[in-house]
Every structure is written in structure tokens, then in C-alpha cells.
Structure 1
Amino acid sequence: MGLLNSVSFQRLQGGIDAAYKRQNALANNVANQDTPNFKRSDVSFESILQQQESGIQSTLRAKVSDTRHYQFGSNTIVPAAVENTDETTSMNNNDNNVDVDREMALSAENQLRYSSYVEQINSQISMMRAVIQGG
């Protein structure tokens, strides 16, 4: 297993990919704010990952009674980001449901998430570099 193939790196990469997809969806929402019958989209990743971690989507897991036992059945697969379209609401008379203020707030939140993911990856790489270089 490579140094950058750990589950934590895969999750951070999944988060970065989700933030990228979410930014595209939010930009598309803002661009179509006046388009009749347009329905906004958003991307889910963190909630899916949280459900996976809490065991809601769990599979059969092995009971480990000794540290030398291999754990199998645990879910180490990082879920993919899922784009959802909100078809149920309508904000304007033209059946469009884009609220520009909300989209801009979500965009700022997404930027903070993206920055924190990149910062965490940089921190882990710095720690690995320090270990490898011995300092």
C-alpha cells in the first residue's frame, strides 16, 4: 500500500472532488436563476460519508478478539458524491427555485470546506515528509 493510498487520503480526495462538483452545481444554479422551470441542484458527500461511518449503511463485520486478527467486512470504500435536484419546491412564479443569497452562502461554505480539505492533505504530507527525511 502506498503512502497516499490510505483511507484518510481517499476520504479527503473524495471531499475535494465533492467540493469541486458542488461548486459547479452552485454556479449553474446562480447562472440559471431567471430560467423558467429550472430546479436547483446540490451535491451530497459529507452526509453520505457520515451515514457510512455511523453504520447506517453497514455490512457484516468480523468480530476481532485479538490485535493480530484481520478486520474484514468494514466499509473502507469512500462513497462518491451524489448530485441531487430539488424538484419539490418553487420560489418564483416561473417555477424556478433558486435563491441567489442562499446559493452564495452555500458557495462560501463550500469554499471553506475545500480549503480545510486541502489544508488537511498538506498537513498529512508534511508529517510524512518529516518522518521520511528524519526531521
Structure 2
Amino acid sequence: MTFFSRTFDSLQHGLDYAALNNKTIANNIANVDTANYKAREVAFKSILNNELTANMQTKRTHDKHFNFNEVNSQFNVTTNNSTSYNHNGNNVDVDKEMSNLATNQIYYNALIDRMNGQFNSLQSVIRGGS
């Protein structure tokens, strides 16, 4: 599948992010009443690094120049320890988390639609364009 591999890889990275983000948001919502629980979120910088790695070609003119293909593509889950919204030390804002959950669901569905389109295109090519 070398014809679509780059697109599929980018979509897979996006789906991996959306799945981890959904799990992280659901965990925050589940712990809304847990004393001293601090909300977590998936760091956006990792997504940007994935896109740079997948979509940017660089020409290195010196060995010490930064190579974008060597960027670490792992997603990072961070904890916000700087705030407390509730008297029990918890900082989960359930309205914000529900909004994030809805946004993430739209993002996930868009990626699935795009991946389905890629599979349909591939299927059309296999069938000879009919």
C-alpha cells in the first residue's frame, strides 16, 4: 500500500491522538468528584511534531542541522497542577471536559470519514476506475 501509505500513516497518527485524548477526557470526567485529582490533557505539541515529520521535507546542508524526520512522535499526557476549582483540591471543569469530548468526537469522525474516502479511492483503483 505504498500509494496511500503517507496519508494512511497521518490518519493513523490522528486516530491514535483522538483515542488517547478521548480516554484522557473520559478519565477526567470520571474523577470529577475525586479529592485532589488534577485534570490531564494530551499535549498538542506532539501532534504538531507528527505533522511536521509526515509532511515536511528538509534539506540538510550541514551535519549539525536539525532533521525533522528525527522528531519524537509520542503523545504526551500532561497534568495541570496549578489550579483548584473545588474545595477538595480537584480542578476538573466538567463543562470544559464535555466540550473537549464533543470536539474530539467531531475530529475523530472527520478522520474516519477521510480514511473511508481513502479506502473507497483505493477500491476504485483496484476495480479499474469503475
| TM range, smaller chain | 0.7 to 0.9
Report what 2:79 is aligned to. Answer: 85
Work out whether 1:22 is the aligned partner of 2:29. Answer: no
Counterpart of 2:31 in structure 1 is 32
| Aligned-residue identity in percent | 35
Bigger mean CA deviation after superposition, 80-89 or 103-112: 80-89
The structure where helix makes up a greater share of residues is 2
Q: For each residue in 1:68-96, what CA deviation from the matched residue of structure 2 results, as whole angstroms up to 9, or x when unmatched?
A: xxxxx552878222211111111112111
> TM-score, normalised on structure 1?
0.76
Report the CA distance between 1:59 and its aligned residue: 9.8
Distance 1:61 1:28 in 2: 42
Q: Deviations over 1:15-38 (max 9, x none)?
A: 111111111111111111111110
TM-score by structure 2 length?
0.78
Gaps of 5+ in 1: 64-72
Taking a change above 3 Å as real, the CA distance of residues 37 and 74 of structure 1, as seen in their structure-2 partners, is closer
Structure 2: how far apart are the matches of 1:111 and 1:4? Answer: 28
The residue number in structure 1 matching 2:64 is: none
Looking at structure 2, the residues matched to 4 and 18 of structure 1 have their Cα atoms a distance apart, in angstroms, of 23
Deviates more, 1:13-22 or 1:78-87: 78-87
CA distance in 2, matches of 1:134, 1:59: 32
Which 5+ residue runs of structure 2 have no aligned equivalent?
Answer: 62-66
RMSD: 2.8
Residues 54-78 of structure 1: per-residue CA shift (max 9 Å, x gap): 69xx997347xxxxxxxxx552878
Tell me whether 76-85 or 122-131 shows the greater mean CA deviation.
76-85
**Any residues of structure 2 matched to 1:85-124 within 5 Å, and which?**
85-124=79-118
Contact 2:10 2:51 in 1 (8 A): no
Matched, 1:75 2:69: yes
SS at match of 1:95: coil
- Residues paired across the two proteins, number: 122
